[in-house]
């Protein structure tokens, strides 16, 4: 994806949270001492009374956010995906999801994008963990504009626990500022009758490139941005089952209990076509350039095209 114009989705979060601060004085940021990296410093400067830095204490940040939500505030507890999904997991389950409080968990550095930082910083299990929690909504925007819009949606139109994942590095633009998004509703990028590709997050741009290559080869491709993993847009999957001959899921996440698993559950229940899951194998990440890590796990345009043709073959 080098050389393609774009911005990190964490930048969109920083802009969106400031816009929300101007409109809603009950929006708070609870920062876990990485505001510069997670792009909350502008919010701190403009709304110091709505900003709390708990230090490197993610579990306390989650508990404080639960308290704020219980008082009618809309807190965005902000950290890295590895800490927001794992270090905070018990507090999210017990203090946020169980009482069904309106806490938003905003996490940067999701998936393999920390790259050279290695396995300790690559949150490749986060969506699976969050997806397993009752009352939790799980969102993974694909580019800057969808991230901005979905942060707005999370605050203004969604009530309850929500986990939203951002990238550290720039990702290509797919949408523009006029596109609209609805939490729980997949975004249809193209209609097709041969194969469906379902993806989300930072690697959706690879799927756009794969769709173009498949269409060049005469394959009709239905492409879905499944930005909300939970609740999954089941009707969008059922439509794909009815109208295409196979489904390829692609994710920057372990293939265990992530997007591919969620789609496969619907396909199994409906008796649908074969599914090929592309994502991180059952292994930890490692330190390497981002594109090299994607290649090692088969998250490439060539592999998406290959798996689509295999299902059609």
Cα distances (Å, whole numbers) of residue 94 to 58, 99, 126, 133? 15, 8, 17, 10
Cα distances (Å, whole numbers) of residue 218 to 213, 239, 273? 9, 21, 20
* Tokens 């194969």 sit on residue: 195
Catalytic annotation, pick one of 58, 95, 125, 251: 58
Quickly count: other Cβ atoms within 10 Å of residue 221's Cβ: 25
Q: Can you tell me the distance from the alpha carbon of 99 to that of 218, in angstroms, rounded to the nearest whole number?
A: 51
Q: For residue 90, indicate whether it is catalytic.
A: no
Q: Which two tokens stand for residue 109?
A: 């550095």
Annotated catalytic sites, by residue?
A: 58
């Amino acid at each position: 994806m080098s050389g393609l114009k774009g911005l990190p989705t964490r930048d969109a979060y920083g802009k969106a949270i400031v816009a929300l601060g101007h409109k809603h004085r009950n929006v708070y940021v609870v920062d876990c001492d990485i505001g510069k990296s997670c792009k909350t410093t502008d919010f701190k400067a403009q709304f110091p009374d709505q900003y709390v830095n708990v230090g490197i204490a993610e579990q306390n940040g989650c508990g404080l956010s639960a308290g704020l939500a219980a008082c009618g505030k809309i807190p965005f507890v902000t950290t890295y995906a590895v800490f927001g999904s794992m270090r905070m997991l018990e507090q999210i389950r017990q203090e946020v999801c169980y009482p069904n409080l309106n806490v938003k968990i905003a996490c940067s550095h999701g998936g393999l994008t920390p790259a050279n930082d290695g396995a300790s910083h690559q949150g490749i299990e986060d969506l699976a963990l969050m997806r397993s929690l009752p009352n939790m909504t799980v969102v993974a925007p694909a580019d800057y504009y969808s991230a901005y819009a979905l942060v707005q949606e999370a605050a203004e139109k969604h009530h309850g626990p929500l986990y939203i994942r951002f990238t550290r590095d720039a990702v290509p633009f797919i949408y523009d500022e006029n596109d609209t998004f609805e939490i729980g509703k997949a975004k249809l990028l193209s209609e097709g009758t041969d194969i469906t590709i379902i993806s989300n997050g930072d690697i959706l741009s690879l799927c756009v490139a794969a769709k173009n290559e498949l269409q060049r080869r005469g394959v009709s491709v239905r492409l879905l941005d499944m930005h909300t993993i939970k609740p999954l847009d089941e009707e969008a999957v059922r439509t794909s089952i009815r109208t295409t001959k196979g489904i390829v899921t692609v994710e920057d996440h372990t293939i265990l209990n992530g997007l591919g698993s969620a789609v496969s559950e619907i396909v199994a229940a409906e008796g649908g076509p074969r599914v090929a899951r592309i994502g991180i194998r059952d292994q930890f990440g490692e330190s390497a350039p981002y594109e090299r890590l994607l290649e090692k796990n088969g998250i490439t345009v060539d592999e998406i095209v290959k798996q689509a043709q295999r299902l059609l073959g």
